[in-house]
Amino acid sequence: MVIVNVYEAKTHFSKLLLRVEAGEEIIIAKAGKPVARLIPFTQHPPKRKRVPGSAKGRIWVSPDFDAPLPEEVLKDFEGADE
């Protein structure tokens, strides 16, 4: 792990990215305190294939889900009393 200051990171950003691509971890510090970490990006494949409808019957939606809200609730959302 390498620690660089903000100025050095700005000046040599492309070189730092090459090091990160090679697997190295870079810490960027401001006034001697670590503020950011550059690490290699890895994309993990989904653990299992997602199948549409696989949660059918496991999710409950209230029958009045899309019913109009009471007037006093709408006023709270819209800030009508302010």
Spatial contact of 6 and 30, defined as CB atoms under 8 Å apart: yes
Residue 61 lies in a domain: no
| CA–CA gap between residue 15 and residue 25 (Å, rounded) | 13
Number of folded domains in the chain?
A: 1
Residue 45 lies in a domain: no
Spatial contact of 9 and 37, defined as CB atoms under 8 Å apart: no
Q: Mind listing the pLDDT tens digit of every residue in the chain (82 residues)?
A: 899 999 999 999 999 999 999 999 999 999 999 999 999 998 887 788 888 988 888 999 899 999 998 998 888 888 866 5
Residue 32 lies in a domain: yes
CB atoms < 10 A from the CB of 8, how many? 15
Q: Which domain holds residue 19?
A: 2-38
Tell me the CATH number at 31: 3.40.1620
Residue 68 lies in a domain: no
Rounded to two decimals, the pTM is 0.53
Spatial contact of 28 and 34, defined as CB atoms under 8 Å apart: yes
